[in-house]
Amino acid sequence: DSGVTQTPKHLITATGQRVTLRCSPRSGDLSVYWYQQSLDQGLQFLIQYYNGEERAKGNILERFSAQQFPDLHSELNLSSLELGDSALYFCASSVEPGLGSPLHFGNGTRLTVT
């Protein structure tokens, strides 16, 4: 158990809808990261937050947004969903964003868009 909690585990929704994925980092971790893993692709970095502030952006679509709250949990909002958004979404956390600080991943939310 990595200590990172993601909810829900599974989510099925229709095209055009909006969903929110939630992540609770490990106790003491200040940095949160979001990744997307589609069926035929590897893990794609989406966005990172550190202590409530956006720190880095990766391949995140404009239809997607995220935030980190004062209690350090994070939410990833996906809107105007398309079939291609079906994927596993992973959250990870680390103590701080330094090069020597490992990421610890949750077990993901599986999103199915029908």
Partner 1 sequence: DAKTTQPPSMDCAEGRAANLPCNHSTISGNEYVYWYRQIHSQGPQYIIHGLKNNETNEMASLIITEDRKSSTLILPHATLRDTAVYYCIVRVEGNQFYFGTGTSLTVIP
Residue 105 beta carbon to partner 1: minimum distance, rounded to whole angstroms: 4
- Of the pair 79, 107, the CB lying nearest partner 1 is at 107
Residue 70 beta carbon to partner 1: minimum distance, rounded to whole angstroms: 23
CA proximity to 89, closest of 99, 74, 101? 74
- Give residues in contact with partner 1 (CB under 8 A): 2, 4, 33, 35, 37, 42-43, 45, 48, 56, 58, 88, 90, 92, 99-100, 102-108, 110
- Of the pair 18, 56, the CB lying nearest partner 1 is at 56
Residue 17 beta carbon to partner 1: minimum distance, rounded to whole angstroms: 23
CA proximity to 54, closest of 33, 38, 35? 33
Burial 2-37 (b: 16+ CB within 10 A, else e): eebebeeeebebeeeeebebebbbbeebbbbbbbbe
